Amino acid sequence: MRRFKKDLILKYFKIIPLIIFIFSNSIAFGAVSSFVDSFTVGENDSGAGQNQPTGVQFNPDGTRMYVSGVSGNWILQYSLDTPFDVSSVNNDLAGQICNFGGSIANDGANFEFNSDGTKIFLVDRTDETIEQFKLTTAYDISTCVHEDEITLGITTLADIAFSRDGMKLFAYDQDGGGKNAVYAVEQYSLSSPYNLTNATLVATYTGPNGDIRDNIQRFAQAMVFNIDGTKMYITGGFATATATNGGVYEFTLSSPFDVSGAITYEGEFDPSAQVGQIAGLTFSANGSKMYITDFTNGSIGNRGVYEYNLTCSFGVIKCIDPSKNKDDVATMESQTQSVKKLIKHSTSPVLNRMQWLRRNENKANLTNQNIKFQFNNEILNSLSKTLIPVFFSNDASSNLNSQNSNWSIWSEGTISIGKSGDTSYSSAKDINTTALTFGADKRDENNIMRGIALRLGSDDVDVGDLGSALDMSTISLTIYGTNPKGDNKFADTLVGISFLNSDTTNSDGSNTTTSERNGIQVYGSYNFRNTYNYDLLNYTPKIKFDFGGTHLEGYSEDGPDILTYRFQDQFIGHLMTTVGTSLDKNFEFNNKSFMPYLNLDYTVDISPSSSQKFTHISTGENFILDEINNSTHNFHAGIGLDLITDKGLNLMTKYTLDQSKGDKKNNFVISADYRASYKSSYAISVHETSTEISYKSKHNNLNVDISSNMDFFAEDPEYGIYLKVYTLK
């Protein structure tokens, strides 16, 4: 179980419940690029300069910059004192180069690293080949060794790019560069990451009107994708209708790293105020900075790398619409789903308990736990001396056949494993829920059962394959009762409160934002059922209503302003109705009772919709999410068995399947009830923020003490179990 803060009850726990279906406000906002600084590449002298720089790249942490060009047969390597700041270039590495002269490459231009920096792929503009180098030290080009030469059959190869997983290769085909040439982005599938052998052409993109050259630019130089593959950028070196010296052209892809789907041309950024002839292009790791190389030959004032600030991540023309990022949407979906399912997770153990008690209501060994409460607080101690004897029997020698006098302790552990598949707008989610519920209840002389239950739960959701995740912890307290309404008719009621805390990680593989949110939830359930007996087979139709509300505090994501959002408070209503039935039959053998059972339920979620307002921190642009709680339908099936023994230990096990559209969850439940003998006793001790549960038993003058402490409110939570065996003389 994750850490719970000490002021849990004084301050709501944090949880993020978001799911995007409709953006009622604008779905994109304008991005502004501003020039920051530049670095002039040294002249081509002594093998340590470059008169015509083309490609530019950085290592992941921005402490090294690499520049290639067509007037020198090498890639230059520079160190940066400040990450991704070209004004902080330290020339101590300027002499460290990857030399591809001689027969390797006649006109080396743009280049790419693989994901771990152990390979370089260099475009040879003259031979129309891709030269592959290995680096014996990652991201140290002075250790480069030529490995291979790959030909794709492209007439004029300008640049290449890879998908994030290295399974796709994109090549910019400048097809001769003449007036009648057709410019295209070609997409290849690879048999393994960054393996260019037998690359297979699968798609071609030729621009919004069938020709990139005529509609966007005159001389393509570079092609770049953002980290998640939803944006593509192409540079043009010669004048266009709007950019006198060429520009940066932005495209939005409907499917990440896939040029076969719908592609929207967003517009052109003109850097001509600084750049004489645009060539290479790259971005910082988080997309907050853009870098352009100037191809101008021999002009010291222009020949270099130019740095620009972006107001939002990778937003050259438009900021990325958060609803178009499948991982972001899936993360927000999972948060809302976890909140809505928490009511079910909190009520199910209690309903299971009441159902189990009715199935086995004639068993004599279901009660008589001896409970002792101890409090450090003097006021609580005074109240306990007055009130606890009214409800609890603490006599270790209680009559085991007296079913109505004492309380029964029970517990239930749940493990739930689920998966939501990939959709057109949301990534796949792996969902794991674990919980432990402790309860105590007793039956009065009118056969009315009342009890209280404490649930400790944890939800872990892994989103996509880049590291996004949700980690939610909950504490739920439920008061419940089951009331007979005649022969074999029962009404189950419960009310409860939950405190929630969630940590969310949004990751694109390189950049990460985190957030924490507090929340409080109140809930209730009403369950009516009537049991019919047919030759010892019990048939129980039922109807159930679940209701509740969740208040979630406002919060801000932690990370660079360019990547983060600020969310306002949110209220989520909850209303669900369920109809179903259960079957069970009892078998008696060897002083034991064995009862298999089957549950079938159909649930409709008729919760009212809610909305969530949030703001992009860097730009101040406001968004609103509507229709968050859409109605859903769920089918539930469960099969299990009860085992009642004459030794005091009783078990209930159950496997369930929950199936809804696009969502499947498997559950395994095990619940235990134990009857204390006259030689045994239980105690519950509450000491400020900690709780201790202990069990003592005597066997032939041998004393066995078992205790467990739980302090979830401490800054460093403590959990433990202790065993002591001893004799007394």
Greatest alpha-carbon span in the chain: 106
At residue 655, what are phi and psi to the nearest 5 degrees?
A: -115, 135
| Spatial distance between the Cα atoms of 340 and 660, rounded to a whole number of angstroms | 14
pLDDT at 163: 94
Where would I find the beta strands (DSSP E) of 302-448? 304-310, 373-375, 408-420, 429-443
| Spatial distance between the Cα atoms of 420 and 341, rounded to a whole number of angstroms | 14
Helix ranges restricted to H, 161-221: 212-215
Distance, C-alpha 173 to centroid of its chain: 38
In 3-state terms the chain splits into helix, strand, coil percentages (rounded to 5) of 10, 50, 40
pLDDT tens-digit readout, 250-301: 999 988 899 998 888 888 888 888 888 888 999 998 888 999 998 776 555 5
Nearest residue to 552 via CA among 505, 623, 502, 513 = 502
Walking along the chain (729 residues) 10 residues at a time, the average pLDDT comes out as 37 31 36 78 65 88 90 85 91 74 76 95 87 94 91 86 94 62 84 93 81 56 89 76 70 90 88 85 91 74 84 86 70 78 86 75 45 50 51 35 57 72 68 84 79 89 81 92 78 93 82 89 91 81 90 88 85 88 82 82 83 81 70 79 72 77 70 56 54 67 71 61 66
- Cα angle value 29/630/548 (rounded, 5°): 115
At residue 517, what are phi and psi to the nearest 5 degrees?
A: -140, 140
pLDDT tens-digit readout, 522-572: 999 998 888 888 877 888 888 989 999 999 898 899 988 788 888 888 888
pLDDT at 243: 55
pLDDT at 8: 36
List of residues 6+ apart from 195 with CB closer than 8 A: none
| Spatial distance between the Cα atoms of 26 and 456, rounded to a whole number of angstroms | 41
| Spatial distance between the Cα atoms of 677 and 698, rounded to a whole number of angstroms | 10
pLDDT at 396: 34
Helix ranges restricted to H, 309-325: none
Measure Cα distances from 589 to 592, 593, 594, 643, 646 in Å.
5, 6, 8, 11, 11
pLDDT at 256: 87
pTM flag (> 0.85): no
| Spatial distance between the Cα atoms of 448 and 482, rounded to a whole number of angstroms | 6
pLDDT at 507: 80
Q: Dihedral sign, CA of 108, 44, 290, 244?
A: negative
